[in-house]
Structure 1
Amino acid sequence: MSCSRPVCVQNPHLDALTDDILYHFSLGTGTHDLPAMFGDVKFVFVGGSSSRMKLFIEYIAAELGMEDPKSEYPNICAGTDRYVMYKVGPVLSVSHGMGIPSLAIMLHELIKLLHHARCTDVTIFRIGTSGGIGLEPGTVVVTKQPLDDTFKPKFEQVILGKTVARDTDLDQSLAEELLQCGKELNQFETVIGNTMCTLDFYEGQARLDGAFCSYTEKDKQEYLRKVKEAGICNIEMESTVFAAMCKMSGLRAAVVCVTLLDRLKGDQLTSSHEVLVSYQQRPQILVGYYIKKQLKAKAAGN
């Protein structure tokens, strides 16, 4: 019989707090019954856009047959405008904003929330959009290894004036399961590959269309060639810190992003709004299929 996996925190100072205030969620251990509110959570999905995470919870509620026509799916974090949070059954949907700092702040509080709620066996996914490298727009990439912009499988952060490096390993069996789900769905191309995480959307991703640019088209193409040679399939701005923090907390984690363009062919999005919206739905279709498959297997096991 396998043991359940708790959500770990690695901070002895938390024990001295009589009330742990999760400020950016407008929640706290002294003001909310977190085990009652979140104790049954098994699947957590995080993504940059507030509106997209609302649409996701509506989608997953319908997929799981838990939709309530009278429900507006209230934002649990309505007391703040930093993030949004929605819940249906065992599924939690949370926005994280754009970039490493915004996601890291959210994830600190989310990990503490899951820990305080005494959640076990939680699987967490980052779903979102990305720029592809040599892939057709609309391809869904399941991340094998998040790399930084120098191609290292590390997340580096300055703590007390010193640079601390943390590994960015993700759960490879989960990635393979998601790839298999993509094959079973057979609705769009799904691949596994490395993902490069940058600190910027423009110069940090070798774009030529920002307010500033000190390199040539040739320089850009040489860099992107090295990116491709490193086995990188897509570029985004959150995967390294996501992987590092999930590993430290014992969370089984995956990153699933759709490509909106091929960066080898250009920098700007030229697809229509309707096409982009359809692309953005693909990660949620894949993970929704995964959840249904997992819940069906669990029900059969019981």
Structure 2
Amino acid sequence: MTCNCDYILPTAAGWQSHYDNCRPHWEMTNGKPCPKNEDRTIRLQNPHLAALECDVLYHLGLDTKNYDLPAMFGDVKFVCMGGTKLRMRELARYLGEVLQTPTDLVNITKHSHRYAMYKVGPVLCVNHGIGIPSLTIVLEEVIKLLHYARARDPVIIRVGTSGGLGIPAGSVVISAGAFNGTLEQVYDIPVMGKVRKLPAVFDRRLNQELQSLVPDDAEYRTFCGITMAANEFYRGQARLDGPFCDYTAADKMAFLSRLVSLGVRNIEMEATAFAAITHEAGMRATDVCVTYLDRLKGDQVTPSAETLASWQKRPMEVIGKYIKKYCELKLKK
């Protein structure tokens, strides 16, 4: 079986030669068929969907009967996801400028009253709320949407904020993988009374491509490392400033130092589920976050609103350069 990678950037020295969802690479690594069709569209792994006359994507306010999903989304190559509606609107506006693509920033999912989704050329910008439960709802419906739209080999990138570990505040972290709260590189999902552990891994080649576009003279540093995804903001992240705390400051520092020794560079609340679900779907994905603080130095976010707003643009800049490169190399041929 031959490689079917849809390369975004030409291979450079030291890079992975294939994306993780290259069909022969996937099947050799995972020991099962790649959930990607020959034409690079997504093959859903749920036989029950074939019995549905109409699949209602309830949380997106869309369905397969009343909307022409291939016409609306068939050209989507990138999906950018982030926590807040405002941040995704700002990202859509920014990408419109980068790609020189006019957009009126219409919220496609406004009828659902739950999430916001904007389309700019080959890019969807979708907010996912805070935490894994909110993320998984919209992420799984977006995957079905891309399947029904027959989008070819889409790339999904989470754009977020986080707390850093031993790195300067304002740094950008590109996730190499994700740990859960018990420091396993898995997403734990209870299914019918039993816990399944899904591997939480991101595409290595995609990370290498993204990191290559950060200029050496950037005003911020970029790191590639493990991300810890917590299920809770305070105790789940070993903070001392929550309403409850039954451990000492020394306990906190010992735990955070252990994370650093394991290669963890930041903490947020979505990475394990995001990595595991996109990997299970056979999709290229990664998590690109700015850090608001160094957790080894404190727990509270103290920079000004203006500073935080400027830092939020840093992951957008990295992703914008990447998507622009794709459009230059692929769409203008």
Q: TM-score range by the shorter chain?
A: over 0.9
Taking a change above 3 Å as real, the CA distance of residues 65 and 159 of structure 1, as seen in their structure-2 partners, is same
* Other structure's SS at 1:79 match: helix
Look up the match of 1:28. Answer: 63
Q: Are positions 1:105 and 2:140 aligned together? A: no
Q: 2:240 aligns with which of 176, 193, 208?
A: 208
Letter matched to residue 90 of structure 1:
P
Q: CA RMSD in A?
A: 1.3
Matching residue of 1:90: 122
How far is the alpha carbon of 1:88 from its aligned partner? 1.1
- The 3-state SS of whatever aligns with 2:168 is coil
How many residues are paired up? 298
Sequence identity of aligned pairs in percent? 47
Aligned equivalent of 1:162? 194
Q: Deviations over 1:30-83 (max 9, x none)?
A: 111111110000011000011000010000001100135xx2x11000102211
Give the equivalent residue in structure 1 for 2:76. 41
Residues 1:298 and 2:323 aligned together = no
Return the letter of the residue paired with 2:90: L
Name the counterpart of 2:7: none
Give me the whole-angstrom Cα distance separating, in 2, the residues matched to 1:84 and 1:57: 11
Task: Within 5 Å, give how 1:90-169 maps onto structure 2.
Answer: 90-169=122-201
How big is the shift at 1:169? 1.4
- Is the 1:151–1:230 Cα contact (8 Å) retained in structure 2? no
Work out whether 1:277 is the aligned partner of 2:309.
Answer: yes
The equivalent of 1:175 in structure 2 is 207
Q: Which amino acid aligns with 1:169?
A: V
Alignment partners' CA distance in 2, 1:180 and 1:235: 23
Distance in 2 (CA, whole Å) between partners of 1:272 and 1:8 is 45
Q: What is the aligned partner in structure 1 of residue 45 from structure 2? A: 10
Instruction: Determine helix, strand or coil for the equivalent of 1:182.
Output: coil
Correspondence for 1:191 among 197, 215, 223: 223
Name the aligned partner's letter for residue 10 of structure 1: Q
Instruction: Note the residue ranges of structure 2 that are not aligned, 5 or more in a row.
Output: 5-37
Distance 2:216 2:300 in 1: 32
Distance in 2 (CA, whole Å) between partners of 1:262 and 1:187 is 17
Which residue does the alignment assign to 2:255? 223
The SS at the match of 1:265 is coil
> Distance in 1 between the 2:77 and 2:42 partners?
11
Shift of residue 183, structure 1, vs aligned partner = 3.1
Distance of 1:290 and 1:188 partners within structure 2? 17
| Residue 52 of structure 1 pairs with residue 87 of structure 2 | yes
Query: Could you tell me how far apart the structure 2 residues matched to 1:91 and 1:299 are?
Result: 13
- 1:7-29 per-position Cα deviation (integer Å, ceiling 9, x unaligned): 23211110010000000111000
CA distance in structure 2 between the aligned counterparts of 1:173 and 1:4, rounded to whole angstroms: 21
Q: Distance in 2 between matches of 1:258 and 1:113?
A: 28
Tell me which residue corresponds to 1:260. Answer: 292
Residue identity opposite 1:221 in structure 2 = M
Structure 1 moving runs of 4+ over 4 Å: none
Distance in 2 of aligned mates of 1:8 and 1:198: 30
TM-score, normalised to structure 2, is 0.87
1:265 corresponds to which letter in structure 2?
Answer: K
CA distance in 1, matches of 2:331, 2:67: 31
Normalising to structure 1: TM-score of the pair? Answer: 0.96
**In structure 1, how many angstroms separate the alpha carbons of the residues matched to 2:200 and 2:145?**
22
> CA separation in 2, counterparts of 1:26 and 1:56?
21
In structure 2, C-alpha distance between the alignment counterparts of 1:54 and 1:148, rounded to whole Å? 29
Alignment of 1:65 onto 2:100:
yes
Please report how far the alpha carbon of residue 299 of structure 1 lies from its aligned counterpart in structure 2 after TM superposition: 4.5
Letter in 2 for 1:62: E
1:191, CA displacement in angstroms?
1.1
Task: Give the secondary structure class of the aligned counterpart of 2:79.
Answer: strand
Point out the more displaced range, 175-184 or 196-205: 175-184
1:250 partnered with 2:282: yes
Aligned AA (2:124): L
Matched residue SS, 2:111: coil
Q: Aligned to 1:183, what secondary structure does the other structure show? A: coil
